[in-house]
Amino acid sequence: MVLVTGGAGYIGSHTCIALDEAGFDFVVFDNLCNSSQESLKRVEKIINKKIKFIEGDIRSKEDMQKVFTTYKIDSVIHFAGLKAVGESVELPLKYYDNNINGTLVLLDVMKEYKCKKIVFSSSATVYGDPHTTPIKEDFPLSCTNPYGRTKLFIEEILRDVYRADNDFKIVLLRYFNPVGAHESGTIGEDPNGKPNNLMPFIAQTAVGKREFLSVFGDDYDTVDGTGVRDYIHVVDLAQGHVNSLQKIAALDSVLTVNLGTGNGYSVLEMVSAFEKASGKKVAYKIAPRREGDIAACFADPSYAKEVLQWQATKELNEMCEDSWRWQSNNPNGYSS
């Protein structure tokens, strides 16, 4: 049985479908602080199966023990965490407590129940401002905000756990920019309040919830001056977790892998791709650069292909079409 912490969230809910398709039995554990059970209800419709769900907090040893006592957990996919960069600057202790302390409690209980396989959601944010692109896994690591530091610290903690006990099997997945939604249009990204990330902001502008997109800077050294990122379809990303689980038992060291497409698109390229896919106009205004942003960030995805036999399959038009289907069918997300 696979434990999916944070499984009611954006990436977790899509991963539940991929796990089911690959024949894995799983249980979702989530405190619903940034999600609702509605996502899982919709996943149940897609997979035509009831999902095992336990509501609880990864920081609570009792909650975690309940999961491991109720089910025989063989491996963990650890999505649970807070992810808003701006909020992490305002409330660093909240992020260190939730993400780091939560992971420590999870690892402690995993040890207690002799469960030693874990796939962790890291982020391309651990590369800081990369000296060049595309980014390879052995590039220097750094970070500029508490959220990023939680990812970097947890990576280090997991490496120490492996050093102390080589029976641990650990995969660190560094996601680039997840976008898109399941093709049914029934599950997707449902940010609280004003979105920080580009794709949900574009989608909400197209659907009429936002007046215009602020393009943060047009004087970067990129194709058109706007920031370039590696957008990856969430369904491809979900599959990366399944491939990781299929390989994890054979690992003899901590596996660290980029999950990206290898293609970089600028903000203005994203706007025009979304307009094409949705048939809607996306109004935008050029605004000052956002603090902490970098010019360009995209993956060298070759290692994922080599070690996980994984590569992204979905192109930008599919990412935009699927985001639009989710957004237009659910203008207010899961509360629509």
Interface residues with ligand UD1 (CB under 6 A) are: 85, 123-125, 147-148, 177, 196-198, 201, 213-216, 227, 229, 267, 290, 292-293, 297
Joined tokens for residue 111:
């040890």
Judged by CB, which is closer to ligand NAD: 123, or 263? 123
List, in sequence order, every residue forming a beta bridge with 29; answer none if it has no partner.
Answer: 5, 54
213 contact choice in ligand UD1, ligand NAD, none (CB below 5 to 8 Å, kind-dependent) = ligand UD1
Residue in the block written with tokens 């602020």 = 214
12 near ligand NAD, judged by CB under 6 A: yes
Quote the least distance from Cβ 229 to ligand UD1, whole Å.
5
Judged by CB, which is closer to ligand NAD: 12, or 262? 12
For the question of residue 147 being annotated catalytic, the response is yes
* Paired sense of beta strands 26-30 and 169-175, if any: unpaired
Quote the least distance from Cβ 125 to ligand UD1, whole Å.
4
Question: Please, what sign has the CA dihedral across residues 211, 216, 220, 223?
Answer: negative
**Which residue type occupies 74?**
D
Give the interface size with ligand NAD as a residue count (CB under 6 A). 26
191 contact choice in ligand NAD, ligand UD1, none (CB below 5 to 8 Å, kind-dependent) = none
280 CB contacts (<8 Å, ≥6 apart)?
A: 206, 207, 274, 324
**Which residue type occupies 11?**
I
290 contact choice in ligand UD1, ligand NAD, none (CB below 5 to 8 Å, kind-dependent) = ligand UD1
Query: Could you give the CA distance from residue 169 to residue 310 in angstroms, rounded to a whole number?
Result: 19
80 near ligand NAD, judged by CB under 6 A: yes
Query: Could you give the CA distance from residue 111 to residue 73 in angstroms, rounded to a whole number?
Result: 11
Q: Of 10, 95, 127, 147, which one is the catalytic site residue?
A: 147
Catalytic residues: 147
